[in-house]
Amino acid sequence: MTLLGFDFGTRKIGVAVGQTVSGTASALETLLPVRQKIDWQRIGELIKEWQPDALVVGLPLDLDDSETDATQPALRFSRQLEGRFHLKVHLADERLTSMEARSRIGHRAKRLEDYDAEAAKLILETWLSEQ
């Protein structure tokens, strides 16, 4: 099964692709807003290109499992994905993925946006490892 993973943020969305057969994921790209809106066109292009069987969205929670300010926007994004593209959307715990992405990429990042795609990869790998 092919999956696309998303690290949703109001300013950037990291995207990764993964496979259930190998249990691995690869960072793809970071999407920036178009006129302060989600770039649905580019997301549609990625879905058409990769033809995923399902999608995975990182669910931001605090260390004590409580919601953060980012939890409800991420849930809204996951519902919109499901409604627009008619694909099953799974949620994956994304705690500490941004910090882990920064530590993995470190000085190799060419742009700050590179961290978001790496975080999406970590989110997808988390979900894959739990299946």
Helix (H) or strand (E) holding 54: strand 54-59
DSSP 20-35: TTTTEEEEEEEEPPBT
Q: In the chain, what percentage of residues exceed pLDDT 70?
A: 85
pLDDT tens across 6-25, in order?
Answer: 999 888 999 999 999 999 99
Q: Which of 36-50, 61-75, 98-112, 114-128 has the lowest mean pLDDT?
A: 98-112
Mean pLDDT score, 55-67: 86
DSSP 68-104: -TTHHHHHHHHHHHHHHH--EEEEEE-TTHHHHHHHH
The ranges assigned to domains in the chain are 2-130
**How many CB atoms neighbour CB 18 within 10 A?**
25
pLDDT tens across 82-130, in order?
Answer: 999 999 999 998 875 555 545 555 555 455 556 788 889 999 998 998 8
Q: Which fold has domain 2-130?
A: Nucleotidyltransferase; domain 5 (3.30.420)
